[in-house]
Structure formats: structure tokens, C-alpha cells
Amino acid sequence: MKTNFTQIGYFTLSAYVDTGHFTYLYVIILLFLYILIICSNLLLIVIICMNRRLHEPMYIFLCSLFVNEVYGSTALFPFILGQIPYDIHIVSAYICFLQVFCVYSYGSVEFFTLTIMSYDRYVAICFPLEYNTCMTSNKVAMLIALTWLPPLLVVVGLTSMSFSLQLCGNIINNVYCDNNSIVRLACSNTSIHNIYGLISTALIVFVPLIFILYTYIRILKVCFSGSKQTRQKAVSTCTPHLASLLNFSFGCFFEVLQNRFKINNLPDKFGIFVSLYFVTCQMLFNPVLYGLKMSTMRKICARLFQCEV
């Protein structure tokens, strides 16, 4: 007999292991990481918003990136912190699908934001004289909307399709709810869901990566043919973005690989590590990277702490 998620009512997360006496140690570590992520990202958001010198396209896009880190971490960390202390790890169906929407929308917005940031650097380095006339306030607002609205709409469609599936089980082999694990529980034909998932993955991941690759090829051409000052500017502004992109792409690549292509010979713990790396490392990596690498941000942070002291 086929059942659907309204009859199941909840999902069981089977990837949690018995931590024994170290349970509350893990809770403290995760709580510390969550507080660190929230405080570091909020600090940089406040610095950018309060300092008029930073009201430039590059820093506005960074602010959008930091807002997304706060959003993604809040959707994940409190949930995991609430699951670790208990022996039975269950979550209601509605909360599970809400988490699917939040996690996938976080990853989608992250890729789109990194894409828009690469376009901003491309215009600044390849067309420096036209930068101010090209990156107007209206265009920046339009680009910010572009980083949020299309990814959210794509994820709404993905979550809605999974929400209507008929399910024959309720056990998810992960520490949080993910869409691919839910689709595998389906009793009905999932061909349409798989096609939509592949198309959305291509639109959200591979198309932005191709565009970013194109912008960096153009930037490299300008650097090799330009002056030493141009190369220094390109290195100082592109290095943090490139490091952030590589870090996130690494986690996203293995997450897509193991979920979409069903690599069964990988250890379960490795799959869990990749899933957690995909949704947690970037949140802490970005504020530390941009806060320390960019001289303007570093000077303002140092001045702020000196005033407090």
C-alpha cells in the first residue's frame, strides 16, 4: 500500500551516531561555531552598512553574501544542536521540507552571489574607466535581486514537487533533511523530479561556473597585457573571491556527485562529512577570508577594536 508524507508525519535521521560521554562536548563545539559564524558575519554586515566608504558595489555584494551565511547557518545549526542530545532523531515532515528549502536556497543564492561578484570584478578590471557608469545603484539593486529571486523560485519548485510525492519510507541517511534522500523514498515514478533536479542543478551550479570561468579568462588576459599596478589590483581583489569559490565548489561538487549519481561505495561517514562541509565550512570561511584579506575591511575592524579597548 502506497503512503504519502501526510500519513507518515515524520522522518527519522539515521546518520547520527552514539556520541556517548562526548555528547555535550559536541554540542558546545557546534554552539561555539554557530555563535562565531553569526557574530563574524553580523560584524562585517554592520561595518559595511555603517561606513559610507564601503557603500560600493563590491562591498554591497559582500554584504549580501554575509546575509546569506547568517540565513544558512540559522537554518541548520539550531536544528543539529537540538538533535544531538537525543537518542531518537526524528523531525516532522513539514519541518523537514522547510529545512530542504532553506538549505538548498542557501546553496543556490551562494553560487549566484559569487557569480555576480565575479562580474563586478570583471567590469572593474577589464573596463575601469566605465565602471562607475556601468555599476550604477539601480543596476546593483537589480543584480542583488537577481542573486536571490531566481534561486528561491527554483528551490520552491523543487521542494513543491518533492512535497507531493508518495513515500514508502521515512528514514533519511543524513544528519539533516535533503531533497535527494526524500526522492529516493518515493513509491511513485520520479523521472520528472530527477529531470527537474538535473536542470535546476545545471542552471544554479554549472551555468554560473561557466560564466565565472569566462570572466576570469578575460581578467587574466588583461593582467598579462596590463601594467604591474593592474596585476596587483586584480590579485588583491580576486584572490578572496577565487578562494571562496573554490572552497564552496569543492563541497558542492562532491555533494552533487554522491547524491545525483548515487555513489554507493563511499563510506557513510565520508558522505556525512561532505554534506556538513558543504553547508558549514563556507559560512565560517567567508567572513574570516574577507575580513583578513581585504585591507579596507581589516583596517576598519582594527580601528573598531582599538576604540573598544
Residues 132-179 pLDDT 10s: 888 999 999 999 999 999 999 999 999 998 888 888 888 888 888 888
* pLDDT given for residue 106 in this prediction: 93
Mean pLDDT of 82-88: 78
Angstrom CA distances, 225 to 56, 68, 74, 76, stand at: 27, 36, 45, 46
Grid-cell match 551516531, residue found: 17
Residue 218: which H helix or E strand, with range? helix 207-225
Per the DSSP assignment, residues forming a β-bridge with 4 are 166
C-alpha cell at 288: 574570516
Mean pLDDT of 237-247: 84
C-alpha cell at 218: 578575460
Q: What are phi and psi of 249, to 5 degrees?
A: -65, -35
Pair 267, 13: CB distance under 8 Å = no
pTM attached to this predicted model: 0.86
Domains (ranges, CATH) in the chain? 3-308 (1.20.1070.10)
Angstrom CA distances, 188 to 3, 160, 162, 165, stand at: 10, 15, 11, 7
